Structure 1
Amino acid sequence: MPTGMSRRVLAIGWITATSVLGLWSVWPRIVMTHGHGWARLIVAFSFALSALLLSGEHGQRGNARLLYALTIVYLLDQLGLRDIGPLEPVSMLAGGFVTVLGFTVLLRYPLDALDRWSERFVLTLAAAAALLQVALLVTGRWPWDRLGVSGLPSGLPHQTLFTGLFHIKTVWGAVSFVVFLGLLIRHWRSLVRLDRRTITPLILAAVVVGALSIVDAVANIASVPGALLIGEVRGYSIALLAAAFAACALRSRLQLNAIAGLAEDLRQPVTTRQIRDALRDALADDSLVVLFWVDEHARYVDGAGQPVEVPSPPGRLVFEVTDRAGRPLALLVTDPALAKHGNVVAAAVRISEMALENARLEVGLRTQLLVVQEARERLLHVGLAQRRRLERDLHDGAQQRLLGLGLRLAAIEATADQPATVDAVKSARQELLLALEELRDLAHGLYPAILTQGGLAPALEDATERLSLDVTLNVPAQRWHPDVESTAYLMVCEALANIVKHAGVCSATVTVTSLDRDLAVCVEDDGKGFSLDQQADALAGMRDRLAALGGHLRITSTPGKGTRVEARIPAAEGAPRPG
């Protein structure tokens, strides 16, 4: 394998040789047409430079070989203007394959192979070019004269046949360009955005060359005035195409097209979403996802802190990012077509490494908050479930036993004949009824059975009937998730209890509404109000219960002007259901 120094020497030698040979080959045309000759020199130099650039790029060795061959064949084609005797027919034969090699490399780049239809087209084109060029050489007088052959076979040269073959070649060239343009656009559309963005200037230049070549062919066949001018313009467009190819190869080699603005985008503190969007723009992949490694939980999470499963090939391509100590930092999940752009992705990762590390800290905090939130939700759910179980046990156990005991005391009272006994039993029954009522109130405070059976509206109606307070209820006859209904019910009961205890003689209004995916609850009174600082501890339990479900509490109170308590509870898990 050549060393770095020898590669540089070979590169300088290749560029120098092609430049000198190209200048010598096209010098007669430079003298005759000036600009057109220089355009041909630009073509030769651009093809040579493109070959050199692609030879050092991963996955582009095949395209580099094609461009080396294209450069050599193109230079041989230009030798036709030089008086080099027997080599001139060779130059003419080589000229027929410039288009074949050019089509091939344009239909491949930036991939490393032709698709099935393009391969068939190129093989057909190569066979036709070989046959037509040989036929033109055999039937034309000029090649035989250059070769110095005397005593030609009978019927050769044949000018009429030569002219007919030339027209066939011209028509075939026009048809080939039409097919080529269709395949080229199909090839461009099949590429990922990063590749399309890289070669779009090249494709546009190729379309211009193709269109001018078709017009030039038609003009020559129809002997249109100005055909010579069209041919010259076509020559300039080929120079533009070759220069565009060199520019695309250079941009790809330097990776400037993909990551030039990434460092600037990530210079300021950014969020996880902004990092993802910056990488998507740099790598031209709108499906790119960034996952972050969280050591505390030994798993990957998304930007919101939610745990995710890492996709596996072949559906997605996963690039692992590590920190300076070699520990997992993040994963870039991208389009599989970016595999051949590993150097571009690696450069983007290096630029964004610091931002990714900062983002991981942010994601770690989000993950911890999610864990705490989940724990609070579990505790709330368990607490409410225990309330329901205790209410059910009291109703089905202790209350039923006390009711049975009351019936037995009533039977004893009915059969007793001693006044003292009757009085004692009657007194016991009264105490039992008081105890039973207290037990019912206790069970109702834990979790009223009517809330489970009828929902929020009847439960609040039952609760307000027990209060010495004028309450107006605006509650829809809908059902929500049990935890949502329980939290709303307890919040309203606590707010009404505070009104009875602190607001003085007044009235209250309770309003429950469904807003989007949330349940909105509002309790307001026209009492004497209070200072929020004085009641901060008393309201902590209400806030915690709401926060456990992702809800929030807002209290507005001014001494002498009443109080308004508003809560909003996410209800998506159990969106309104018919009662």
Structure 2
Amino acid sequence: MTVLRSRSLDAQGRQAGFDRRLWLISSAALTWGLASTLPQLLLGDALAVLVVLVTAAFGVVGGLLIFDENTASAGRAMLAACVLAPLNTGVGWDVGPVPFVLGITEGVFWVALCQGILTFQRSPLQWPERVFLGAMWTSFIGGQLTWSIVSRPEWVGLPPDTWWPALVPDLDASTAVQGILGLLNVASAIVFCVLIGWRASALARLDHRHSSPVAIAAAVSAIGAAVAWTITGRVTVIDQALLLGVPLAFAVSVLRARLLRAELGTALAGLAHGAGPDAVEALLQELLRDDTTTVYFWVTERSLYVGRDGRPVDSANEGAGRMRLPVATSDGEPVAVVTTDAALRSQRQYLETVVSAVRPTLENARLQATVRAQLAALRDAQARVLDVGLLERRRMERDLHDGAQQRLLSVASSIGLAGVQDDGTERRATLDRAGGDLRVALRELRDLAHGLHPIVLTRDGLSPAIDDVVSRLPLEARLDIDTVRVDPAAEATAYFVICEALTNVAKHAGALRVTVDAHFDGNRLTLEVTDDGVGGADATGYGLQGLVDRVETIGGHVELTSPPMRGTRLTAHIPCR
């Protein structure tokens, strides 16, 4: 409770500091707007009033954005626009060199505003946008200088004594340059709208929610200002009214972002206690406005990730090219990985807030995903065991047909032949051959029966049965096997697991020594087969996969450690009834 109260006080302190800074910035913006338009305000000029409102609005919005790391760049641009907005219009300051200087600052204002709008869409500027902004600098500043060289102040409605370069004044040239600048302004506005649309096409739905009001207001203002300047050659009430819509649109976007965070709390409150993987994934898709958002849950026992259906997945490959948000417990244990549209990288702070808020729900859902993974693994193992059983029955049929059956047919043929032979010596030789074939057939049948279920395992238990197997291995073996008897199913599973492991060691490991340990702890039998071979064993290979399936079918699990050139350790945990 003390920690929660401390966090609450810290949050209140941060909010109070933010409010103070915002109040100072807003007051400064309003003061600057009033001071810069004071001469015309005293005359009741409507344009001056609009300029004050635009200046104050840009200041407020800049203050809202600059303290958020995601929108700090746009916030700086908005504060620059706040400073330049009155200079852009030059209302009430038609004296000395001021009109000429303010004509230059007009271009700076529009470049700063366009850059702020583009960066607000939360991704770095691409080369087309950088080229566009560079062209704007050249067009606005170079064009203004060229125009001032070939024109006089009285030709644009300024007092004749206004300082103006007018190096080579020419009315026709001035009119032509002004017309070209007007066309360039319209072209710049059109290109700006195209860039906004191009950026919007690459944004995630969540970003569209924030940036669409700004994009619409910016496009309308840019086109309106360009057309108005082309027609009148000066700032008008109409384009300032349209310009006021830009900071207001920014304010709407900020409000939407705050409402989105409030929506997060409402959605979490409506989430049922103990919600499963499906409900959690659907909630994240709704909050992130991304139907492709996927959650992969960590299964500790198997050291892998599974989907909401419990099926194992390679989260690294599944999330390739997408944004990945790992989720862990307070102790650092993996819980899940959330993958979503890469376009949402610009909203990382919000995404981390969402994932942090749903972490307890994800931890509960992981338990259900783990159960689903166990059931899915059990179903898969049972299916593979059935397949292996079918193959084994076919192998037995083939072995009986090619081995014992042929021997018995040979015995029958020999006995029949002996019955018609008159010579006693030949009859005796024929019967001896029949006896030899019969003994071979019996041995083959015993070997076949031993592979199904060795009699020594049933009669004496696991330790003597493994002793019998090891005695036929061409390598040194050490056994440490408890003599306690366990239930037949667990004992048979342990026997076949050890036999399969030893067969793999003998065939593939190139080992000199192998160790077999088997210990019973009251409710499960733990087996460990270790060799000093070449390592590099693959748990998905046919032999080892069958071994894993056999263990998982009765509710156990297998662990394999096999680094290259460092031997192999196979551990199986088998539940006992």
Global fold match (TM > 0.5):
yes
Q: 1: CA distance between counterparts of 2:262 and 2:206?
A: 9
Task: Give 2:286's aligned residue.
Answer: 281
1:262–1:279 CA contact under 8 A, matched in 2? no
Q: 2: CA distance between counterparts of 1:199 and 1:371?
A: 46
In structure 2, relative to structure 1, the CA distance for the partners of 1:157 and 1:267 (3 Å cut) is farther
Give the alignment's TM-score, normalised by structure 1: 0.62
Match of 1:103 among 111, 114, 121: 114
Superposed CA deviations along residues 270-317 of structure 1, whole A, max 9, x for unmatched, are: 432332232123223343221111122222211111222231797333
Q: 2: CA distance between counterparts of 1:159 and 1:401?
A: 120
Task: Give 1:134's aligned residue.
Answer: 145
Task: Give 2:83's aligned residue.
Answer: 72
1:259–1:347 CA contact under 8 A, matched in 2? no
In structure 2, relative to structure 1, the CA distance for the partners of 1:94 and 1:213 (3 Å cut) is closer
Q: 2: CA distance between counterparts of 1:33 and 1:372?
A: 81
Match of 1:13 among 14, 21, 24: 24
Q: Does 1:205 align with 2:226?
A: no
Q: CA deviation at 1:321?
A: 0.8
Q: 1: CA distance between counterparts of 2:62 and 2:392?
A: 77
Q: Secondary structure at the match of 2:305?
A: strand
Structure with bigger gyration radius: 1
Task: Give 1:563's aligned residue.
Answer: none
1:259–1:283 CA contact under 8 A, matched in 2? no
In structure 2, relative to structure 1, the CA distance for the partners of 1:33 and 1:269 (3 Å cut) is farther
Q: 1: CA distance between counterparts of 2:30 and 2:146?
A: 32
Q: 1: CA distance between counterparts of 2:382 and 2:212?
A: 54
In structure 2, relative to structure 1, the CA distance for the partners of 1:54 and 1:81 (3 Å cut) is same
1:38-117 equivalences in 2 (<5 Å):
39-82=50-93, 87-111=98-122, 113-117=124-128
Q: 2: CA distance between counterparts of 1:303 and 1:155?
A: 75
Q: What residue identity is the alignment partner of 1:316?
A: R
Match of 1:391 among 388, 397, 403: 397
In structure 2, relative to structure 1, the CA distance for the partners of 1:147 and 1:59 (3 Å cut) is farther
1:251-266 equivalences in 2 (<5 Å):
251-252=256-257, 256=261, 259=264, 262-263=267-268, 266=271
Superposed CA deviations along residues 144-194 of structure 1, whole A, max 9, x for unmatched, are: 9769569x9887766555444333322221121122222221122233333
In structure 2, relative to structure 1, the CA distance for the partners of 1:289 and 1:108 (3 Å cut) is same
Q: 2: CA distance between counterparts of 1:280 and 1:169?
A: 48
In structure 2, relative to structure 1, the CA distance for the partners of 1:16 and 1:413 (3 Å cut) is same
Match of 1:120 among 112, 131, 147: 131
1:58–1:340 CA contact under 8 A, matched in 2? no
Task: Give 1:196's aligned residue.
Answer: 208
Q: 1: CA distance between counterparts of 2:120 and 2:230?
A: 29
2:323–2:342 CA contact under 8 A, matched in 1? yes
Match of 1:374 among 372, 377, 380: 380
1:54-453 equivalences in 2 (<5 Å):
54-82=65-93, 87-111=98-122, 113-137=124-148, 139-141=151-153, 161-213=173-225, 215-216=227-228, 220=232, 232-252=237-257, 256=261, 259=264, 262-263=267-268, 266-267=271-272, 270-311=275-316, 315-415=321-421
Q: 2: CA distance between counterparts of 1:149 and 1:216?
A: 24
Q: 2: CA distance between counterparts of 1:154 and 1:266?
A: 72
Q: CA deviation at 1:348?
A: 0.7
In structure 2, relative to structure 1, the CA distance for the partners of 1:144 and 1:45 (3 Å cut) is closer
RMSD across aligned positions (CA): 4.2
In structure 2, relative to structure 1, the CA distance for the partners of 1:412 and 1:141 (3 Å cut) is closer
Q: 2: CA distance between counterparts of 1:407 and 1:6?
A: 106
In structure 2, relative to structure 1, the CA distance for the partners of 1:200 and 1:154 (3 Å cut) is closer
Identity of counterpart residues, as a percentage? 26
Give the alignment's TM-score, normalised by structure 2: 0.62
Superposed CA deviations along residues 530-555 of structure 1, whole A, max 9, x for unmatched, are: xxxxxxxxxxxxxxxxxx9xxxxxxx
Q: 2: CA distance between counterparts of 1:121 and 1:381?
A: 65
Task: Give 2:569's aligned residue.
Answer: none
Q: Secondary structure at the match of 2:91?
A: helix
Q: What residue identity is the alignment partner of 1:266?
A: L
Superposed CA deviations along residues 344-383 of structure 1, whole A, max 9, x for unmatched, are: 1111112222321221111111111123223323433343
Q: 1: CA distance between counterparts of 2:194 and 2:86?
A: 28
1:292–1:329 CA contact under 8 A, matched in 2? yes
Task: Give 2:560's aligned residue.
Answer: none
Q: 2: CA distance between counterparts of 1:370 and 1:399?
A: 41
Q: 2: CA distance between counterparts of 1:386 and 1:318?
A: 45
Q: 1: CA distance between counterparts of 2:191 and 2:120?
A: 17
Query: Can you give the 5+ residue segments of structure 2 that lack an aligned partner in the other structure?
Result: 1-12, 432-437, 439-444, 453-552, 554-577
Q: 2: CA distance between counterparts of 1:267 and 1:75?
A: 54
1:44–1:71 CA contact under 8 A, matched in 2? yes
In structure 2, relative to structure 1, the CA distance for the partners of 1:84 and 1:321 (3 Å cut) is farther
Q: CA deviation at 1:219?
A: 5.2
Query: Can you give the 5+ residue segments of structure 1 that lack an aligned partner in the other structure?
Result: 222-226, 426-431, 433-438, 447-547, 549-579
